[in-house]
Structures are given as structure tokens and as C-alpha cells.
Amino acid sequence: MDRVALRGLKARGHHGVFPREREEGQTFIVDLVLGLDTRPAAAADDLTKTVHYGIVAEEVVDVVQGEPVDLIETLAERIAQKCLKHEGVEEVEVVVHKPDAPITVPFDDVTITITRSRV
């Protein structure tokens, strides 16, 4: 399976379990790896035979900016399901970064990584 990767998609969302997270919001960063067969697109040099990663990026940002959820696990699942709706995408790995998580000790990042497939 071939891979198309999008790294560092940024959007402001209001996800989290604490009132401050819901009220003020924070930046979330999303990395995606889409698994698909790119041979038909390459052979025909035809965008319609592959995934349009620009559209995927916009949809992912819409999910992050959309309806708040408590957990980044839920956010990652919603993103994965949105990606799998694209014809040809057989598998997706989603990493959601929450670099401003409300943690009281020094840290660099909090992430969740999930892999989902059509099977």
C-alpha cells in the first residue's frame, strides 16, 4: 500500500474536559498518513484516481474546529472516519497533538495515535 502523508495541520478547537479548554480553546496539530494504491493515478496522471489531500486537509481542520469533545481519542476517531470516507483510502493513521494540554509539569507534547482501516 502506498502512503500519502500530511503533517502539521493546525487548527483551534475547544476540546477537553476542563471548562477553560472549552471556553478558551487551544491549538491542535494533526498528522495523517493515508494508505491507498496510487498506481492508477500515476499511470493516468489523473487527480481523480487518487485522494485529493487538499480537500482532506480542509475536512480535518473542519473536524478540529467543529463540535467539541472531551477526549483527543474521540477527536482522532472522528478524523479517521472522515478520511476513510474518501474513495480509495483503505487505511489511515491519525496523530493528534495537544501541545497546550493542561498539565502542571513541564512537557513538550501530548499525542494520541490511532490506525483505522476499512476492513
DSSP letter, residue 46: -
Active site residue 49: no
3-class SS at 88? coil
| Alpha carbon distance 30, 11 (integer Å) | 8
3-class SS at 63? helix
Catalytic residue among 49, 82, 85, 98: 98
- Band of pLDDT at residue 23, cut at 50, 70 and 90: very high
DSSP letter, residue 48: G
- Percentage of the chain surpassing pLDDT 70? 100
Mean pLDDT confidence for 58-87: 98
How many other CB atoms are there within 10 angstroms of residue 114's CB atom?
A: 15
pTM over 0.75: yes
| Alpha carbon distance 84, 88 (integer Å) | 8
Average pLDDT, the chain: 97
